[in-house]
Amino acid sequence: MLSKCSITIIAFTFCSFFSQTSMPRWNFDQQLKDYFQTKVTELSQGNLLTDWENEDEFNAVQKQAREQLWDMLGMNPQPERSDLKVRVTGVVEHEHFIVEKIVFESMPGLYVTGNLYRPKIIKQPLPAILYVCGHATVEKDGYNYGAKANYQHHPAWYARNGYVCLILDTVQLGEIEGIHHGTYRYNRWWWLSRGYTPAGIEAWNGIRAIDYLITREDVDEGRIGLTGRSGGGATSWWVGALDERVKVVIPVAGITDLQNHVVDGCVEGHCDCMYFVNTYQWDFAKLGLLIAPRPLLIANADQDAIFPLDGVYRTYREIKKVYEKLNIPELIALNIVGGGHHDVQEIRIHPFRWFNHFLLHNDELIEIPAKKWLQPEDLRVFDQLPKDQINTKIDSFFVPVATSWMDQMQSTSFETNQQVWMEQLKRYVFAGWPKSPVGNSVTKLEEIQAENLLLTIYSINSEANIELPLLSIQNLDDSRSSGEMQIIDDGNWQDLEPALTRLFGKNELWAKEGLGDELAIRLKNEIKKKGQIIFLPIRGSGIARYSGDDRALTHIRRRYYLLGQTLEGMQTWDILQGIKVTNDLMPQIRSLRASNSTSIMLAYASLYSGSTNTLYLESPGSTHDRGPSYINVRKYLDIPQVLLMTSTTNDLYIASSKGFDELRQFVKTQPQFKIHF
């Protein structure tokens, strides 16, 4: 949990040889900060929730948005509603209520543990509350009793006050412990490429829980409420937005806007279950469009560091516009209590009263406090964990990936496939690219001559707020009109930087010394061989790396993701702009080189360059599961497909081609694909 909500992009520190009065040109951290603010403003302004005139238009807008949300949660198409296989593994009879220890399978092998609380005497069907838990659990003697044990005071209150209440464990904090922190902690960036988020699992488990509730004779299916706090607050938004069987929705401490998450840095306090894959570039207030016209109460604390009050207010005001336009402003409310991100008694009272009003038609004062009555052992569902569980590996197949490139090629012609792939890339993978490129604005900044080498430093604008240096080193003794462009990333910059320092002296962009002599000789020989080399940086890497440690870079990458982009996707855009600039400045250079995952970015960028080049791809990976990470890409294609498409207009030379055996064999008999291994 954050002590305060503040972005941790550390101010870029330049080397000590610059004068105290000089103003550095290349502040990549400031660029990033300005970029995030610009993008958040664009997305916020582009999400008008009241862009409809009547009920029919509202319904159409809502229907489209709901389909988009299903997609962004990884459920397009929706999973099959298989047999829930509900089991009650035990019953606890308490003085004030009865608890059924329940497990069901939201899909085969995906176990959901929970407790169902109900009054001791039930004479007629009762309203039901689905309580979805946040990030708090109870571990005792080596066993995880789940979040349901920590939050037990909530369902106990509902059962004592005339409700049936089902409380669910989360995927991560349950008796079977899965993972919520894929990008946050475990570098599972392939989640982005798969279009996977644990928010989708939590939403699906909640929807299937409602499937179960409406089968019970003691539940009135027309009076179902939904609530939870923190992570459960977020899940309340997902389930409430997708499932109209929920009649009243109360997310507690579960929402704020992109301004808080991206610009102010609140993303650092949240795991991955808090976010959808933002394919359609929403701000979070759009979730409220899907809950209207049902009663919606938003509850929060005024000092909540990970759901700051300013963003909560902004979100509430945007959603309220929808309710006002529908002439039902009384069906939305915002309740704020004092304090931080805690499950305090004051914040619990709001949902109790709201549900009583809309589901029990009872506005009496709350007299019975919520308290924990049972021991964790009383609430345990499993005696032994099921061996066929898929909870711990659900991220690998919850979102179906595209069939193999060979299967796609056999079922449809390459030309037809290419049209489909390019459209899918445009709509679902690179939708975050600028709609109107800034144009290839190029400025020559300086020239430095060292012996027979001429270094020219250019500035290019990749997009608004992103300015990158382009380096050209030319052998003055060579009159050939040829050369090569190389992409600078973290891998090759560690060798290039000391070589530049040795050959041309320290510069605002580089100052590292070390093994400069040996590396400088190697660079000089390479330039002598090729005549000229253009070095193209990409944002956030190599010469244009953001400052900060690995943790800071992790959350920078997550900020890009919240904008419907990835860092690698926007680096690919930088490469594309660099190719266009190089074509204009030095049209004789048609040789392009990159290594590892950056080489795949180069292949993608070349799809859109409009030019014909020779690409040297060194040690590319064969699947996006190992990078680069682009949102949703594996739902539609993988790396072999892009190599095939790129090779129809470019010559590809692939070195260290591990994993491409099938592709190697295929192109031997297909001369239209110019791929050389």
Neighbour order of strands in the sheet with 453-463? 442-450, 453-463, 466-475, 532-537, 484-488, 591-595, 614-618, 651-655, 675-676
> What's the DSSP call for residue 195?
T
- Claim to verify: residue 669 and residue 584 sit in the same structural domain: yes
Which residue is associated with the tokens 């209590």? 337
Say which CATH number the domain at 210 has: 3.40.50.1820
Q: What is the pLDDT of residue 32?
A: 98
Examine residue 266 and state whether it is found in any structural domain, yes or no. Answer: yes
121 versus 478: the higher-pLDDT residue is 121
- Claim to verify: residue 465 and residue 352 sit in the same structural domain: no
What confidence tens digit (pLDDT) does each residue in 441-454 have? Answer: 899 999 999 989 99
Task: Please tell me the total count of domains within the chain.
Answer: 2
- Claim to verify: residue 288 and residue 164 sit in the same structural domain: yes
The rounded Cα 636 to chain-centroid distance in angstroms is: 18
Instruction: Give the C-alpha separation, 287 to 72, whole Å.
Output: 12
Examine residue 415 and state whether it is found in any structural domain, yes or no. Answer: no
- Claim to verify: residue 457 and residue 348 sit in the same structural domain: no
How confident is residue 534, by pLDDT bands cut at 50, 70 and 90?
very high
What are the CA-CA distances from residue 292 to residues 258, 472, 623 (Å)? Answer: 21, 57, 41
Examine residue 642 and state whether it is found in any structural domain, yes or no. Answer: yes
Examine residue 334 and state whether it is found in any structural domain, yes or no. Answer: yes
Long-range contacts of 95-100 (CB under 8 A, 24+ apart): 96/120, 96/156, 96/159, 96/160, 96/373, 97/156, 97/159, 97/160, 98/159, 99/374, 99/378, 99/379
Domain boundary, last residue among 315, 345, 366: 366
> What's the DSSP call for residue 393?
G
- Claim to verify: residue 465 and residue 319 sit in the same structural domain: no
- Claim to verify: residue 358 and residue 452 sit in the same structural domain: no
Structure tokens at 210: 């409602």
The residue count for the chain: 677
The whole model's pTM is what?
0.94
What confidence tens digit (pLDDT) does each residue in 3-33 have? Answer: 344 433 333 332 333 333 445 689 999 999 9
Examine residue 22 and state whether it is found in any structural domain, yes or no. Answer: no
Asked if 512 contacts 448 with a C-beta cutoff of 8 angstroms, the reply is no
- Claim to verify: residue 147 and residue 283 sit in the same structural domain: yes
What confidence tens digit (pLDDT) does each residue in 614-653 have? Answer: 999 999 999 999 999 999 999 999 999 999 999 999 999 9
Cα angle 338-340-341, degrees, rounded to a multiple of 5: 125
> What's the DSSP call for residue 167?
E
- Claim to verify: residue 351 and residue 487 sit in the same structural domain: no
- Claim to verify: residue 359 and residue 473 sit in the same structural domain: no
Asked if 111 contacts 105 with a C-beta cutoff of 8 angstroms, the reply is yes
Who's near 243: CB < 8 A, 6+ residues apart?
Answer: 206, 207, 210
What is the helix, strand, coil percentage profile of the chain, to 5?
40, 20, 40
Percentage of the residues of the chain whose pLDDT score is greater than 90: 91
Examine residue 375 and state whether it is found in any structural domain, yes or no. Answer: no
- Claim to verify: residue 136 and residue 277 sit in the same structural domain: yes
Using alpha carbons, select from 619, 627, 572 the residue that is nearest to residue 193. Answer: 627
Domain boundary, last residue among 366, 401, 423: 366
Query: What is the pairing mode between strands 651-655 and 164-168?
Result: unpaired
Examine residue 670 and state whether it is found in any structural domain, yes or no. Answer: yes
Does the pLDDT value for residue 439 go beyond 80?
no
Domain boundary, last residue among 328, 348, 366: 366
Examine residue 205 and state whether it is found in any structural domain, yes or no. Answer: yes
Say which CATH number the domain at 448 has: 3.40.50
Does the pLDDT value for residue 340 go beyond 70?
yes
Range of the domain at 521: 442-676
Instruction: Give the C-alpha separation, 212 to 84, whole Å.
Output: 8
- Claim to verify: residue 504 and residue 610 sit in the same structural domain: yes
